[in-house]
Structure 1
Amino acid sequence: MRQLGQILTDRGSKYAVSGVPVKNRAEIDAALKQLKRDKAYAKATHNTWAAILTEGGPTKGDDGEAGAGMVIVRMLEREELTDHLIVVTRWYGGKHLGGDRFRHVQTCVRSYLDAL
């Protein structure tokens, strides 16, 4: 799992991004489990993720951040990147971000994609 670490902060919330090539749901689950072995990621408020699998199509998990997984899916579709899991992690800072949280997810995913 490639972890780029903290990408940005806003009103106390911190965002990080990670990713890894995957082939199926079992590999997604294993990668998420591996990420959460790191205590900081295990204590995160949200670990939102998505992947587009060659065998099975798009799959995502919002982890309580409704709609964020679909933001990642759309970005993966635009990049035509398949069989790759991207996880955006958020540590909630105590203030609601409203729609800004989706822009922050996009910023994190863009940082990851640019680093590939």
Structure 2
Amino acid sequence: MTLRIYDKIISDRGSRYAVSGAPACNRAEVGAVLTELRQNKKFDKATHNTWAAILSGEGVKDDDGESGAGQIILQMLERAGLTDHVVIVTRWYGGKHLGGDRFRHVVDAVRHYLGQVQP
């Protein structure tokens, strides 16, 4: 498995974002990717590790407390046609609510990732 991590890509009002991902063909492989990511203590201590994947045509996601973020990631993967791949957006909460800007940051993070893995 090749876990790609792009750290410190967005910072806003103290919150910091990273995006990562790897190929995954089933839920067990998604779990293995998340386990590998969380072996890095920095990511294990993150406020949210929101993720989504399209596995054999079925969309799966987990908001990890960042309500609605998993759906945004899933929609972007569908539009990009990226299947059998999990994308994780990590957020470290900085103490100030971001309101709707948090969704913009999720979109920007996924765009960054897609720009790295797709031609």
Q: Distance in 1 between matches of 2:89 and 2:76?
A: 13
TM-score (norm 2): 0.95
Render the CA deviation track for 1:10-68: whole Å, top value 9, x for unaligned: 0000000000000000000111011000000000000000000115x000010000000
Letter in 2 for 1:87: I
**Which consecutive unaligned segments of at least 5 residues does structure 2 have?**
none
TM-score (norm 1): 0.97
Q: Distance in 2 between matches of 1:5 and 1:54?
A: 29
Out of 39, 45, 52, the position equivalent to 1:43 is 45
1:8 alignment partner in structure 2: 10
Runs of 4+ residues deviating >6 angstroms: none
Q: Distance in 1 between matches of 2:8 and 2:115?
A: 15
Root-mean-square deviation (CA, aligned residues, Å) is: 0.7
Q: Distance in 2 between matches of 1:47 and 1:22?
A: 16
Q: How does 1:46-61 map onto structure 2 within 5 Å?
A: 46-54=48-56, 57-61=58-62
2:87 alignment partner in structure 1: 86
The alpha-carbon deviation at position 4 of structure 1 amounts to: 1.1
1:20 alignment partner in structure 2: 22
